[in-house]
Structure 1
Amino acid sequence: MTKILIADDNKQITSILEEYVKKEGFTSVVAFDGEDAVIKFETEQPDLLLLDVMMPRKDGFEVCREIRKVSNVPIIMITARGEDFEKIMGLEIGADDYIVKPFSPGEVIARIKAILRRIAREEKNVQVFSYDNLKINLEDYTVIIDEQLISLTKKEIEILWTLATSKNKVFSRDNLLNSLWGYDYFGDNRTVDSHIKRLRAKLDQYSHPNWEIKTIWGVGYKFEVLEHV
């Protein structure tokens, strides 16, 4: 059964979310501060995490960073302010999605379902892709360049896979958003830009002279291959 970890110091919000999660047939675990969220994550091994930004002891950003060191479990950040820097910060450190308070519990459930459907689709199509010095394995979600394991988040690997398996094809931001987040995703295409920026920075730490993720200004992105390869 799918287990959701709800981390929020507002007991009224956690109670409502617990009720809605239960109605969908999921189980839930609750943490009321950041340190407890990390402990519950380690002991309960949830399938998805709803993570509030403003929590005592450790904020949601700190919790997300710690979890991303050891796991690619889906994380939906919850922010009260709705400010762009918080959304971008969450995405930069590895969150899969964000939602702004006040929100309807139905919207949260819709986001959860969208992520779980995407994961289910991915698990049905396990493949390995290799090109030049790059190898992407969706079975264990690893990326290797020149025999070196690259530390990427699950979403970054999915973006790289989508681009690399369609070499030289240009994907618009909306293409990537719909393909990787789903048509029922509530965010905007700046989410794509944020993930691409982080992915490119990690890849560029390693030599890959025969290919690159190239920005097509005003359009989107592509995995560009040089002709001499």
Structure 2
Amino acid sequence: MWGRTIGMRNSMQDILIIEDNEELGILIRDFLIRDGYTVEWKTSAEEGLKLVEKAAFKILLLDVMLPGMDGYEALQQLRKKHGIPVLMMSAKTDDQSKILGLEVGADDYIDNPFSFPVLSSKIKALIRRSYDMREDKEILTYRNISMNVNDRTVFKNNRQINITGKEFDVLEYFLKHPEKVIKKEVLFNEVWGADCFSEMSSLTVYIRWLREKLEEDPKNPVLIQTVWKIGYKFGGSIEK
């Protein structure tokens, strides 16, 4: 079956591949799994974009020549909401095609056919450049939001935003428990401590501040959702 799922899990995965050629898709997927990555593979841009809305990935490998929506159009759609690093793969090796890919939002470009060692090198470099990953750092990511726990820095669409103090602690808890309903009391106790003298109303203030910095429309939040009479949910579907 094309576009099969490999190693599906709720937490962030490493790589999403969008490649319609079955033989090449299998080769890339199997090579990356042997290289130690967790991988998802889809055969159309439409399927891939739907998956990005539901799951978090460190990097996207995007073919240019796809059925239906091509790679350029898919990247334009992706960049409206997500800052995930993108490595474009294409048999179009002319400069104009590469320039177009970079102009619409690609982070790097690899000519197809390519050698797997070169692909591996580009992936490692792109991940390192995008997340500045080192062994002593912990990176949490959900959709277009990423957090470096050790440096206490937060990025939206790869741009740093000013989130510090208890705001950071609340967001860290959300990122460690994505798409789960969290009771207000649990969140407050985890961040402030059960013996804290602060009022529960403090949590509401920090939630509002986070929404102002993270949401496209803070008055109609889709990232930090209120679950009526219970608490909050970070990401996932909107409660009706």
TM-score, normalising length: structure 2: 0.51
How many Å separate the matches in 1 of 2:54 and 2:37?
Answer: 18
Alignment partner, residue 19 of structure 1: 30
Alpha-carbon shift at residue 85 of structure 1 (Å):
1.3
How many Å separate the matches in 2 of 1:47 and 1:109?
Answer: 14
Aligned 8 A contact 2:20 2:42 in 1:
yes
Amino acid at match of 1:15: I
Is the partner of 1:99 in helix, strand or coil?
Answer: strand
Alpha-carbon shift at residue 118 of structure 1 (Å):
2.1
Structure 1 residue aligned with 2:63, among 20, 35, 52?
A: 52
Q: Percent identity?
A: 35
Cα deviation code 1:90-149 (max 9, x no counterpart): 11111100001110122111111111222342796xxxxxxxxxxxxx94446xxxxxxx
Amino acid at match of 1:84: D
Structure 2 residue aligned with 1:9, among 2, 20, 24?
A: 20
Unaligned stretches of 5+ residues in structure 1: 125-137, 143-152, 159-229
How many Å separate the matches in 2 of 1:65 and 1:110?
Answer: 25
The aligned runs of 1:34-113 (5 Å cut-off) are 34-113=45-124
Is the partner of 1:58 in helix, strand or coil?
Answer: coil
Amino acid at match of 1:51: L
Cα deviation code 1:13-32 (max 9, x no counterpart): 11111111111211111111
Q: 1:24 to 1:36 in 2, by over 3 A?
A: same
Aligned 8 A contact 1:20 1:109 in 2:
no
Is the partner of 1:19 in helix, strand or coil?
Answer: helix
Cα deviation code 1:177-205 (max 9, x no counterpart): xxxxxxxxxxxxxxxxxxxxxxxxxxxxx
Is the partner of 2:15 in helix, strand or coil?
Answer: strand
Aligned 8 A contact 2:13 2:56 in 1:
no
Is the partner of 2:132 in helix, strand or coil?
Answer: helix
Alignment partner, residue 128 of structure 2: 117
Amino acid at match of 2:23: Q
Alignment partner, residue 180 of structure 1: none
Alignment partner, residue 237 of structure 2: none
Q: Which structure would you say has the larger Rg?
A: 2
How many Å separate the matches in 1 of 2:132 and 2:50?
Answer: 30
Is the partner of 2:67 in helix, strand or coil?
Answer: coil
Cα deviation code 1:138-185 (max 9, x no counterpart): 94446xxxxxxxxxx64xx69xxxxxxxxxxxxxxxxxxxxxxxxxxx
